[in-house]
Structures are given as C-alpha cells and as structure tokens.
Amino acid sequence: MADKATIVLFSHVSNTRSITGAEKLLLFFAQELSPYFNCILVAPQDGKLTAQARSFGISVQLLSIPLLYGMYTPYAGLEADARKFQESREYHELTDWLTSLRPAFIITSTCVHALPAMAAKSLGIPVVWKISETITDNEYTPISVGLIHRNSDEILAISQTAAACFPEEVRVEKVIQLPPSWNDKEMMIEAWSKLRGERRRELKIKPQEQLVGYISSFINKEKGLEHFVKMAVLVYAVHPSAKFVVIGSAGDKSYYDRCVRKVKLEGLYTRFKFVGYAECLPSAYCAMDVLVVPSLIREGFGMTALEGMAFGKPVVAYDSGGLREILHAAGCGDNLVPASDISALAERVNVMLAQPGLAITIGAQARERVDAVYGPAAYRSRLQGLAEMWSLRYCSAPPVREADSVVEPPAVLPELPAASPALPRSKALPSRVARKRRGKARVRRRSGRPLVLRRVARKRRKGSARRRSTAGGKRRRARRGGRRRAA
C-alpha cells in the first residue's frame, strides 16, 4: 500500500439498521478505487457501511462531522450557517486530522457533507465533491451551488439530473459524470432460479401468482409507498391473483403505519407482504415479476430501478429526474408514467401482468442495455480515466492497478430526451464568454483524447505559457535596467 497515494472518502451517514443507496454507491466507489489508491473511509459511526468496508480491506476512521442540510434545501442564511460550522469543535478536530494525514486529495459524498470539503480546501488539499442528489430548486439554489463550486476542484455528478443545478460554465469547467454500477459477484447470477423459488416459498407466493414489488432502504413519504398502495388497489381489481411485497425499513413510522392501515381498510392485507430491510437483495429482486418505483422526488439517479433492471426485471416508474435517464437508456421509456399519476402507474403494471411473456422479454432486454451503459465494465473504464487524471493532477506518481487487466471503453451515455429537467436560476455568463465556452466544449467532443486527460494537458500548457511570459518579462526589464545604468 505504501506505493499508492492516500485518499480519504467521507460518508455523511453509517446506518446501523440498513444501508442506503448513497452508502452503497460510496462503498462500491471505494472498492473500485482501491487498486489505484490507498483509500480511507471516514464515517460518523460504526454501522453496516463500515462493517462491509472493513470486510473489503478498506481502512475506516470514525469522525463526528455535522451535516449542513441547507445545502440540499437552500435558504438565505446558508452561508452564515456554514461559517458557524467552521467555528465548531468538530470542524477543528477534522482540520487537525487532515493536517496530520495530508492525503493526496479527498472525496466528500452528497451535497450536505460540506465540512470535509471546506476543511480540505482551507489546507490546500484538493477536493472532489460527489453529488448524488438533486439540490432543491429555489431562489437560494445559487448559494448552495456557489459553496460547492468554491470548495471543490472537481464535481463528480451521478447523472445529468444531478448536474443540472450548476451553471453551464461550471459544468464545462469541472463537472464530470460518473453513473453508478453494481458488483457482479454480489448478483449471484447462477443462483437466480433457486433464489426465486426459495424466496417465493418464504413469502407464500404460489407459482401462478404474480408478485409486484416495492423496495426502499428507508420508507418515507417522498419514496411514494402510499402511491404504491393506491396503485395496488387498482391493479387488484383487474388481476385478483396478484400479490404485492413492500421491502424496507420505516424511515417515517407514522407514514408507514398509515400505509399499512390503508392496505387493511381496502381489504388487501392478505395480498400484501411487508418485509423489513433485506440483507439478501438478489433473492428479493428474483422473487418479483414487476418492480415499481413511484418516487415523488426528482431522484439524482434511482439505484433501485437500475438494480431491478440489472436483475432482469421490468421496471415501471414515475417520469422524473434520474429515473427518466435510466429507463430511456434501457429502452423502457414506455414504462415511464407522469409523476403522481397513480392510474397511469396501475395501467402500465396491468400491461406487464396481462402479458407475462412481454414482461420477461422487456426485463431481459433492459438488463442487456443497462449492462452496456452502466455495467461494471463500463464503470471501470470511466473510473480508470478518472484515476489517471487525479494521479497526474494531485499525486506525484501515476496509478498502477494491483492486478493488470484490459479495460474496455464504456458505451456512450445516452442523451436525455426532450423534457429534461429545467435548470435552476443562475447568472448567465456574458455572451462572448459563453460562446467561447461552448466552442471549447465542441472542440473537446470532436477530439478523440479522453476529456479528463485533455484538461490536465491544457492546464500544463497554460502553466508553461505563464512561466515563459514571466521569464521573458524579467529579461526585458533586466536589459532596460542595464541600458539606463550605461547611460
């Protein structure tokens, strides 16, 4: 490990009951970066995340760091509150720890985990800020975006949706898109048929009964369980043999209990299975015939939908945010329905249940397409380019993988179709500068050289030009001084 540069990855949470999508993404990210760097994961407490990280050989450091929730829902006093946090004991302890460790660079995960970025930036340590969510769009959004811009060297966005809040000049200068993926070893592909049979027997689902599923790490109003229940009422009226499974911990217990009461009032309790946190996700997905993702917020990506399609399941979802990107990339745009349209959600699920053969075909084709665009091979190819760029920019030596392997170039990320999310309010660049930026972007797209490496080369050329200009100026001043003395 001594020959690899040390980097630090900051997780904003480490839950003890279950592991959230953001935690899973950061853990997978750390695993995939480990061949290139000596990774240290910082978390606020021990939990499922830290236990899994240690099992993968990743070093763990526990530090209590306050979260700046206003970064996600910006307000007028956000910057003042950020300054107050910088006066806290936790902030000074974090700064002292970073000073003693002096990592090559740090990666902070989610917009609310601002203090690691601020502390590192104050010490001159490069910052990569990983954005996995969509920042709330209101009149104060530019404050949050500005704080991220000023306290980062790179912004790593999970999707076009997550990057949309940043002005064009920031996206051109420092935003890089790295969509998530999955670990094929954890998919248990060879055991899918066995897992399906075992899990369905546990849930008492007969072979002829179709199972419609819902999964969320922490169930709250924004995740749309109530919409799933109302949809189930409409689906049951058409397909009385259908059953429904809800998997996840109750993040908002009163909301969760209200949804359970609704199921009982509708007389569907015997058709529903409520399951807590699933330790074995492969068996959960394998048991389903259709997965429904009725999220009521603009998801930064929508990892549940991606996982469902990776398991070959047809996914029906609300048309918003990152969910739109994923389903269009999978060629499943027909399974998107307008957000909050419960009737349309039920209609699309009914189509899948009425034609089981079509549902299986859609699921299989979706798996092939998401594997090409978001699969492990595509992810590792993109990550290799990032690791090379970060090493050239922030470390003294280029990265060397511990195990040599051929990394195939990834499939091109699909362009988001019409009706992409509107950009939040932000100041536009002066027209001349904006045209110059767009021109540079077009040149980069035409070039075959990886974008991240071209940025490094461009910075080097600028630095060389400045040094030549400075040296020339010194020589001219010296000659003028010599002539004056001779006179």
Mean pLDDT, the chain cut into blocks of 10 residues (487 residues total): 85 90 91 96 97 96 97 97 96 98 97 98 98 95 98 96 96 96 91 96 95 95 97 98 96 96 97 88 96 94 94 96 94 96 98 97 97 96 95 75 51 54 39 41 41 48 50 49 44
User: pTM score, two decimals?
Assistant: 0.80
CA nearest neighbour of 7 among 106, 99, 118:
106
Q: 3-state class of 383 per DSSP?
A: helix
Rounded CA-CA distance 385/453 in Å is 8
CB 456 within 8 A of CB 188: no
Query: Same CATH fold, 186-374 and 6-181+376-394?
Result: yes
Burial class (CB in 10 A: 0-12, 13-18, 19+), 398: exposed
pLDDT at site 187: 93
Residue 280 confidence (pLDDT) = 83
Q: Alpha-carbon distance 460 to 274, whole Å?
A: 57
Amino acid at 3: D
What is the separation, in whole angstroms, between the first and last Cα of the chain? 64
> Could you tell me which of 127, 140, 131 has the C-alpha nearest to residue 163?
131
Rounded CA separation 104/389 (Å): 13
Distance, CA of 224 to CA of 236 (rounded, Å): 18
- Structurally, at CATH architecture level, domain 186-374 sits in 3-Layer(aba) Sandwich (3.40)
Q: Pseudo-torsion of CA 442, 444, 445, 451, nearest 10°?
A: -150
CATH of domain 6-181+376-394: 3.40.50.2000
Per domain, the residue ranges of the chain are: 6-181+376-394, 186-374, 431-478
Based on the number of CB atoms within 10 Å of its own CB, is 265 exposed (0-12), middle (13-18) or buried (19 or more)? exposed
- Placement of tokens 């990032």 in the chain: 386
CA angle 262, 263, 268 (to 5 degrees): 145
